[in-house]
Every structure is written in structure tokens, then in C-alpha cells.
């Protein structure tokens, strides 16, 4: 494992491939068998881990662990490891409250490409999370703006998000905060950029006309207000985004770069995603 601590405290964890990157992040979220690895890299990281991860947080009905969750291809491996750990009896999600990052506007919840469907297919249906603790934006709400306002209020009532897990697109966007999004943005209705529609068309039979043109998404500021943010980035097609986001300055055209403003941010990557980084960043 290579680890880089920048002046803004963003931690970069490099694993050999996307599978080991996903396992590392899943284990980190659970907080299992990581203490020795972290101690040999940085003692303050060990302290952070002990403070907030699910098992050591010891959530209860009156003190739940609140986590923000993504969808898409990036986190699939993480969910697979979390489900496997649950089935082995290593972790319970009974006292965990979840808030998903985003949802398409105008497709039914039961649509196979809705993010409701994704989450139940890959995670919720396989663990012991209480359905009452699952929060996903309603892209079919009668008043979409009111739905977004209410979502922010739900997060506040839950005590804020302890840990936000994310992935990114090749253009460095987190959730649906595409290039040009305000770094002060909140949960809102978003018209999707053509590049996003094109990228997501692979889930809709490569038919651009079937891809929703709008979505509801948490804002950049919503993510930054979490007490910790962890992100997985894998593959050479995201190497430029990683380079821009950690070696460049904070830039609303690469919204993941906003993590430079967060005191407890971690990015887990595979070797392929580091292809554009300077040697001094990864050594």
C-alpha cells in the first residue's frame, strides 16, 4: 500500500487492482483488520479509523451510524464485500441509516435502472438494514424542489452524515455534480450533461433517448458536511480525473477536487487510476 498525505489531509490509498481497492474500502467502512496496516503508514489515520467506523462506532437505535451511499459500477465491488461480511456474521446494518446520493427523475422505482432498484439488487436486499432507515431521493415526487429541501432536512434530523462513500465519473464529478457545479451546492434538481447521458446510455441499451435527462442529487456542500468522505476510483479512464482532483487546485470543473477542502477525506484507487500522477505523489 502506498499512502500520500497532502497539505489538505486528503489520503490516497493505492491498491494493485479494482478488486483489492474495493475490498480495502469495504473493510475500512466496517473497520476490520486495518489497524496494523494503518499504523505502519500514519498513526493519525489509525485514530480516525477507531473513532468513526461502523463496528467501533457501535451504533444503537438511539445512536445510529449514518452513511451516504453511491450507485454505479464503481461501488459494486464494495457492496459485494459488505454483503459477504454481513453473511459471515462480521457486521450488522440494523442500526445504520443510509442516504443515497442521487436518483433519476421520471422513471419508476421498479425500473431496472433506477437507483432504488440498484441499491436493493446490490445491497439492501442482502443485509439486515431496517427499511425505515433507507433514504433515497424520489425522482417522481410531485414537487421535486420540495423533495430536495426535505432530503436535506432528513439528513440534519439524523444528526448529519458520519461517512459519505462515493465514486466519480471520468470528468471528476461526484454524485451528479457535473463540471461547473457550485461547490456550495445543496440537494437539487439537475439537468444532466450530454457526456453523462452518453456514459449512462450503456445501462439503457445504448439508446440515448431512453436515458433520463434530469436527476435529483445531493450537492457538493452536502457531501463536504459529512464527517468523513471516502471515494473509490479505478481504471485508466479515470486517471486524468484523479490527477486533476488531487494535484490540481480546487476547481468547480472537477468537483471531486472539493475534497481538498475536507479535513477527513480518503481516496482509494487501483494502479491503473494512477497513470497520470506524478511520481512524487505516489512514492
Active site residues: 102, 171, 173, 178
Reported in sequence order, the residue ranges of 44-195 that DSSP labels E, i.e. its strands, are: 65-69, 96-100, 102-104, 134-135, 163-167, 188-191
Cα 68 versus chain centre, distance: 7
User: Is residue 232 within 8 Å of 124, Cβ to Cβ?
Assistant: no
Three-state SS for 274? helix
Instruction: Report the Cα–Cα distance between both ends of the chain, in Å, rounded.
Output: 10
Identify the bridge partners of residue 67 per DSSP, sorted by sequence position.
Answer: 98, 163
For the four alpha carbons of 67, 133, 18 and 54, in that order, the dihedral sign comes to: positive
Residues 257 and 234: their CA atoms lie apart, in Å, by 16
Q: Are strands 163-167 and 229-233 parallel, antiparallel or unpaired?
A: parallel
What percentage of the chain's residues is helix, strand, coil (to nearest 5)?
40, 20, 40
CB 222 within 8 A of CB 259: no
Amino acid at each position: 500500500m502506498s499512502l500520500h498525505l497532502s497539505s489538505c489531509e486528503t489520503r490516497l490509498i493505492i491498491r494493485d487492482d479494482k478488486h483489492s481497492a474495493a475490498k480495502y474500502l469495504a473493510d475500512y467502512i466496517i473497520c476490520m483488520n486495518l489497524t496494523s496496516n494503518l499504523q505502519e503508514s500514519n498513526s493519525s489515520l489509525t485514530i480516525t479509523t477507531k473513532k468513526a467506523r461502523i463496528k467501533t462506532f457501535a451504533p444503537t437505535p438511539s445512536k445510529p451510524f449514518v452513511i451516504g451511499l453511491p450507485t454505479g459500477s464503481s461501488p459494486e465491488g464494495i457492496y459485494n464485500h459488505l454483503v459477504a461480511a454481513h453473511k459471515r456474521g462480521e457486521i450488522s446494518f440494523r442500526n445504520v441509516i443510509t442516504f443515497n446520493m442521487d436518483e433519476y427523475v421520471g422513471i419508476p422505482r421498479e425500473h431496472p435502472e433506477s437507483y432504488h432498484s440498484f441499491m436493493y439488487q446490490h445491497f439492501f436486499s442482502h443485509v439486515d438494514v431496517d427499511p425505515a432507515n433507507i433514504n433515497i431521493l424520489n425522482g417522481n415526487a410531485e414537487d421535486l424542489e420540495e423533495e430536495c429541501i426535505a432530503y436535506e432536512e432528513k439528513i440534519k434530523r439524523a444528526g448529519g452524515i458520519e461517512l459519505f462513500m462515493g465514486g466519480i465519473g471520468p470528468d471528476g464529478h461526484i454524485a451528479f455534480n457535473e463540471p461547473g457545479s457550485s461547490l456550495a451546492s445543496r440537494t437539487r434538481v439537475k439537468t444532466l450533461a450530454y457526456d453523462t447521458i452518453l456514459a449512462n446510455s450503456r445501462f439503457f441499451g445504448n439508446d440515448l433517448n431512453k436515458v433520463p435527462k434530469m436527476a435529483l442529487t445531493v450537492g457538493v456542500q452536502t457531501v463536504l458536511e459529512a464527517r468523513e468522505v471516502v471515494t473509490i476510483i479505478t481504471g485508466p479512464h479515470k486517471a486524468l480525473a484523479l490527477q486533476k482532483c488531487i494535484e490540481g487546485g480546487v476547481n468547480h470543473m472537477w468537483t471531486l477536487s472539493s475534497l481538498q477542502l475536507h479535513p477527513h477525506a480518503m481516496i482509494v484507487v487501483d494502479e491503473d487510476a494512477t497513470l497520470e500522477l506524478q511520481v512524487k505523489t505516489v512514492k
